[in-house]
Amino acid sequence: MVTFVDRVTLHLRAGKGGNGCVSVRREKFKPLAGPDGGNGGHGGDIVLVADPQVTTLLSYHHSPHRAAGNGGFGMGDNRSGAAGESLELAVPVGTVVKDAEGETLADLVVPGTRFVVAPGGQGGLGNAALANPKRKAPGFALLGTPGWEGDVLLELKTVADVALVGFPSAGKSSLIAAISAARPKIADYPFTTLHPNLGVVQAGDTRFTVADVPGLIEGASEGKGLGLEFLRHVERCTALVHVLDCATLEPGRDPLSDLDVIREELANYPVPEGQTPLLDRPQLVALNKVDVPEAKDLADLVRPDLEERGYRVFEISTVSHEGLRQLTFALGDIIAQHRVQVAESPAAERIVIRPKGAQKDFEIRVEGGTYGNVYRILGDKPLRWVQQTDFQNEEAVGFLADRLEKLGVEDELFRVGAVAGSTVVIGPGDGIVFDWHPSLSSAAELMTAPRGTDPRLDLNPRRTTSQRRERYHERMDAKAEARAELEAERLGVPDFSFDGEDDEQA
């Protein structure tokens, strides 16, 4: 049965924005009192919150699919749709958020940190919000945009000041139980500890946390045993304590060889850029189980060699508590000095926020195609505008053309060599494909047409009443002329029209 999970993939879907409403207010004696369509509600976000009360990602291991609420549709009488309900997911402090490609998005190391991992979709504007002095009664509304949907990887890296490293059954769990209030499972067989244990230690005026990192054996950095799964929990520690078993009965093992193996595995584990390598951090050595007479003799034998390597060595016993006070106070001094250095270090580099106007809102890529060049428009604004457009409404399509023209898309298409009839795609992949006609760049607000139509788009083959009336009069005039010719022939009225060839023969 799984009780501890420190890595999980979440499948997230943020809420979709609601569509705007097309409505015209009607009252007695005021059949067209103006547009009153409300806006659609925004979709709900998915937010990750660093919670100190959460210690594992187990709940997301069993339920990885999470979704936020959708926004409500706009309604008439200027009623806006309800916003979608946001979803907050509590994660342990020290959780690293990565995208599907492995790029780090956020590092939640401070309790209470909030990160919007999946933003909700934007609600569409109703026709009341789209009205202006030139377009007094829009016959269209904007659609809501879909929320973010995709996978993210959550990776837990324990936030502790000190890491206890060593071979299985070296006494790490017993040590953390002896110096803190933690009560991990302790047994006399290897790999008893299956997940990191945390304990809080008080040494004088200094309080710090200690993590027991299980499963380190030879080849752990290459995937052997459990070490590779838990070496990431050493990354955030300030100091390391090598717990060496002086009473082991396994052949070929002794404290010095165990230390060399663990050091090699720590050296082979790559830490993130900007962090201190594991072996460059303060390290202490704890010779454990000296309550056993043979272990005490072995500790006295190897201690000079360890001190010659530059280590501070402590002979301890988790049974008799021998040497534990000296070890905890030595660790407290290291942690206190580190905290002073961090407080005195210069402030982090200031983040420069550039105005959006300084960045280009779109780009056009020229791609070769079977029937000529294809011009692909990429950018957040054009893609969002396409998602908001109802392509069954001519006026909405004309509004999209006006927005693209005002953004400078028309001029950029001319610059890259597009001509009338060129294939243009908006968005990545299949996107929205259409034939480009520069004539669509004129302002639709100055044209008079029924609501929901745009005279620049000949998308509706049905003739208007005036066109049908004009066509009817043309047919009636043609019939009248035909009847007049027949009547003239019947009465024998000569036809004064002549042909040049007949005159020559005469």
The pLDDT, as a whole number, for residue 40 is 96
pLDDT digits (tens, 9 = 90+) for 264-320: 878 887 777 777 888 888 999 988 888 888 888 888 888 999 889 888 999 988 888
Q: Report whether 466 belongs to an annotated binding site.
A: no
User: How much is the pLDDT for 1?
Assistant: 39
Residue 504: per-residue pLDDT: 47
Residue, of 445 and 118, whose pLDDT is higher: 118
Determine if residue 172 is labeled as part of a ligand binding site. Answer: yes
Is residue 191 part of an annotated ligand binding site? yes
Task: Please indicate if the annotation marks 162 as binding a ligand.
Answer: no
Whole-angstrom Cα distance, residue 322 to residue 296?
11
Q: Is the pLDDT of residue 189 over 90?
A: no
- Give dist(CA 285, CA 334) in Å, integer: 14
Q: Is 213 annotated as a binding residue?
A: yes
For residue 289, say whether it is annotated as part of any ligand binding site.
yes
- Per-residue pLDDT band for 195 (boundaries 50, 70, 90) equals low
Q: What is the mean pLDDT of residues 85-89?
A: 95
Question: What are the residues whose beta carbons fall under 8 Å from the beta carbon of 181, sequence distance 6 or more?
Answer: 199, 200
For residues 394 and 51, give the distance between their C-alpha atoms in angstroms, rounded to a whole number: 50
Res 344 pLDDT > 60: yes
Report for 4-8, 88-92, 172-176: range of highest mean pLDDT: 88-92
For domain 7-156, give the fold: Spo0b-associated Gtp-binding Protein; Chain: A, (2.70.210)
| Residue 319 assigned to a binding site | yes
Residues of the chain with CATH 3.40.50.300: 162-344
Q: What is the mean pLDDT of the chain?
A: 81
Q: Has 352 been labeled as part of a binding site?
A: no
Record the pTM: 0.69
User: Which tops the pLDDT comparison, 437 or 462?
Assistant: 437
What's the topology of domain 162-344? Answer: Rossmann fold (3.40.50)
**For position 148, what pLDDT does the model report?**
94
Mean pLDDT score, 63-72: 95
169 known ligand binder: yes
Give me the mean pLDDT over the 161-189 stretch.
73
Pick the more confident residue, 124 or 423: 124
Residue 505 pLDDT grade (very low, low, confident, very high; cuts 50, 70, 90): very low
Domain with CATH 3.30.300.350 in the chain: 363-447+466-478
At the topology level, CATH places domain 363-447+466-478 in GMP Synthetase; Chain A, domain 3 (3.30.300)
39 carries a ligand binding annotation? no
Query: Does 184 score more than 60 pLDDT?
Result: no
Q: Which residues have CB under 8 Å from 139's CB, separation 6+?
A: 22, 127, 393, 395, 450, 451, 452, 453
Extract long-range pairs of 62-67: CB within 8 Å, 24+ residues apart. Answer: 64/8, 64/9, 64/10, 64/11, 65/11, 66/10, 66/11, 66/12, 66/13, 67/12, 67/13, 67/14, 67/15
pLDDT, tens digit (0-9, with 9 covering 90-100), for 456-474: 555 455 677 888 888 888 8
317 marked as part of a ligand binding site: yes
Residue 168 labelled as part of a binding site: yes
Q: Is 288 annotated as a binding residue?
A: yes
- pLDDT band of residue 41 (cuts 50, 70, 90) is very high
Over residues 200-215, the mean pLDDT reads 81
- What gap in Å lies between CA 400 and CA 234, rounded to an integer? 54
Does 293 count as an annotated binding residue?
Answer: no
124 is in an annotated binding site: no
Task: Give the pLDDT confidence score for residue 2 in this predicted structure.
Answer: 45
Mean pLDDT lowest for which of 17-31, 34-48, 193-207?
A: 193-207
